[in-house]
Structure 1
Amino acid sequence: MKAIVQDTYGPLDVLKLRDVPKPTAGDGEVLVKVRATSVHADVWHAVRGEPYALRFMGSGVRRPKTAIPGTDVAGLVESVGPFVTDFRPGDAVYGECVGVNQWHNGGSFAEYVAVPAKRLAPMPTRLSFEQAAAIPTSASIALGCLRDEGRIRAGQRVLINGAGGAVGTFAVQLAHAFGAHVTAVDSPEKLDMLRAIGADRVVDYTRVDYTQEEIGVHEHLEKPYDLILDIAGNHPFSRCRRVLAPTGTYVLVGHDHYGATGHKWMGSLGRFFPLMLRSAFVKQLPGLRGAKAPNDRFAVVTQMVEDGDLMPVVDRTYPLAEAVAALRYLTEEQTRGKIVLTVGDAPDERMSNGD
């Protein structure tokens, strides 16, 4: 089969399109014929091997343990391994190839990938393969941040910083679906899109510093925010706290802007650890409470897609052979939503299987 392969960590040019052996489905696994997969920040980190800490978190110390990048997948079941009863050949499925930690290669940048059945779900019929591939990792992160760490509730005032990217576009829709008043912060060219997907108010970060807005002066800030989801991570917590209610919650996703911060060893992790330590004394910091949440995020996301409360925003699609170009576009940080790689040339192939 064709696959994007990396033999070592390094610049994006380490990725090469090669012929490699086709995998087989092991116990509890499903062999998926990949129709689409997504490009996101964690893929970039795994290719680069930066921050270096990720190499000790399962990625591989000297070189990647798994040579084929990619964590999200949408496609057709080719075959199932022993003990798999929920899927059959021809089913349209989508999901994640890896578990909680996406900072390592999962093998989806290929024509076929073997995935644990528990990490897959039937693909919603209202989605194309490209749309489905955009969902799993980013939507699950957004749900975990808002529901599990942020404890979002209807009627709250929620600010999402960096709302126009992969995680942010899902976060805006989720917060809106949960009944919150949503303020979305991003660059001016993304603001119309953010309004269209559910933002009640938008802020152009090139003109307004949301941490400096005066509470009580503007109608939209009669009171502070109940929840700040900081995806961009371009302001310290001490400044964000100015516009956060005393009983509010600050959740950091963190973004080192593709190595621009220069923190090669820890990356954005260097900001998380001090906040975790402070969470014992500062009620506005959630600490580790999100880790105790039920492991149902992907199931909830799937149901919200089925109910029409959540739809992916796909900026661009590239063929698998242009994975390097797709990742380079990602690093320009102008993406509206997700970037998707398409595999093969038969987007309606599932129709031939009676679906």
Structure 2
Amino acid sequence: MKAVQVMSYGAADVLRVNDVDRPAPRAGEVLVAVEASSVNGHDVIVRAGELKMVSGRRFPIGTGLDFAGTVAATGADVAGYRVGDRVWGMVHPRQRHSVAGAAEYVVVSADRIAHAPADLSSVEAAALVVAGSTALIALRDSVRIKAGERVLVRGAAGGVGTAAVQLAHAMGGHVTALARDRHAELLTDLGADEVLDYRSTTSDRIGPFDVIVDTVGTELHCYRRRLTKGGRMVTVALSPSALAAIAVSSVHSSRRIRTFSANPETPVLRDVAGQVDSGALRPVVDSVYPLADIAAAHQAFERGGVVGKHVVTVPRSSL
């Protein structure tokens, strides 16, 4: 089968589409015939060598954190899935994989997948696995948003940002989206009550907010000051500067900056599917690339300016 692998740490041109043996599921595992995978920040920083403590120095390394496709086979002791079922899921972000989601087939533990929403194509589903899960965990579990609260979403046009705007709106928040002004129409349609251009809006001129969801990772200390008493802030962008701001904020009790590493298992994936089924959440796809052009998808991600997600498809003819 074909699988995209990192052959050495570096820029996007270290990615190769290699011929590898198709894996077989063991007990408790599922083999998924992948139809689509998205490009995530995790994929890019692993490829660049910024997570060597996790990925190690043995090559090749698989890429593609998430996937959507159909069940091709199940190992022993797997219940609830049959061959042909449409599923979505995610490989474990803190484990090394020689083959991951950007491949014709991937093997994962059955507790890392769920049935995909019936009304989504595989491209649309792949765009929501990480983005939807991250936004849901951030709002529901990390900052515990309440109806009527004022919410700021930084980086609102990205994958997690577009999902956070929708979910915050669905949960009763008054949503301010910080993005480029050219994305105002889309973000308003997704549920934002106000859209501000981040290039001309400084932190000291907005707010205060009860909840801040950050996907950018810069100037966190400035935005933390815009929290109300008892306000909560969470960031999903773990840059060195973000980690420093998180550490400093820990002395501020409830106004500390929260963070987490999204690692959704079946219950969260089911909850995201429920949000899709209820109409509260829909995918936003920026562009679609064939598997052979995954390097171009990584390059587009790194250039920034994305609206939603870059998705990589696995041609059905190759399965």
The answer, yes or no, to whether TM exceeds 0.5 is: yes
**Letter paired with 1:108:** G
Match in the other structure for 2:272? 301
- SS state at 2:70 partner: strand
**Letter paired with 1:230:** D
- SS state at 2:144 partner: coil
**Letter paired with 1:25:** P
What 5-or-longer segments of structure 1 have no aligned partner? 215-220, 256-267, 350-355
Match in the other structure for 2:301? 330
Select which of 51, 65, 69 maps to 1:71.
65
Contact 1:213 1:243 in 2 (8 A): no
Aligned residue runs from structure 1 range 228-267, under 5 A: 228-237=212-221, 239-254=222-237
- SS state at 1:89 partner: coil
Question: Relative to 1, partners in 2 of residues 1:323 and 1:276: Cα closer, same or farther, differing over 3 Å?
Answer: same
- SS state at 2:213 partner: strand
Select which of 159, 177, 198 maps to 2:170.
177
Match in the other structure for 2:255? 284
Does residue 213 of the first structure (1) align with residue 205 of the second (2)?
A: yes
Q: TM-score, normalised by structure 1?
A: 0.83
- SS state at 2:55 partner: coil
Q: Deviations over 1:50-74 (max 9, x none)?
A: 2xxx221x211x235x622111111
**Letter paired with 2:156:** A
Q: Deviations over 1:128-185 (max 9, x none)?
A: 0101111111211111221222111100000011100011011001101110000000
Q: Deviations over 1:14-49 (max 9, x none)?
A: 111121111111111111111111111111011111
Match in the other structure for 2:89? 95
Q: TM-score, normalised by structure 2?
A: 0.92
Select which of 133, 152, 160 maps to 1:167.
160
What 5-or-longer segments of structure 2 have no aligned partner? none
- The number of equivalent residue pairs is 317
Match in the other structure for 1:41? 41
Contact 2:5 2:98 in 1 (8 A): no
More strand as a share of residues: 2
Cα shift at 1:114? 0.6
**Letter paired with 1:22:** R
Structure number with bigger Rg: 1
Cα shift at 1:11? 1.5
Question: Relative to 1, partners in 2 of residues 1:242 and 1:273: Cα closer, same or farther, differing over 3 Å?
Answer: closer
Measure, in 2, the Cα distance between the counterparts of 1:97 and 1:254.
Answer: 19
Question: Relative to 1, partners in 2 of residues 1:12 and 1:294: Cα closer, same or farther, differing over 3 Å?
Answer: closer
Contact 1:71 1:105 in 2 (8 A): no
Cα shift at 1:233? 2.3
Question: Relative to 1, partners in 2 of residues 1:288 and 1:200: Cα closer, same or farther, differing over 3 Å?
Answer: closer
Aligned residue runs from structure 1 range 28-177, under 5 A: 28-50=28-50, 54-56=51-53, 58-60=54-56, 62-64=57-59, 67-98=61-92, 101=94, 107-177=100-170
Question: Relative to 1, partners in 2 of residues 1:115 and 1:103: Cα closer, same or farther, differing over 3 Å?
Answer: closer
Measure, in 2, the Cα distance between the counterparts of 1:343 and 1:128.
Answer: 13
Contact 1:6 1:68 in 2 (8 A): yes
Cα shift at 1:276? 3.7
CA RMSD of aligned residues (A): 2.4
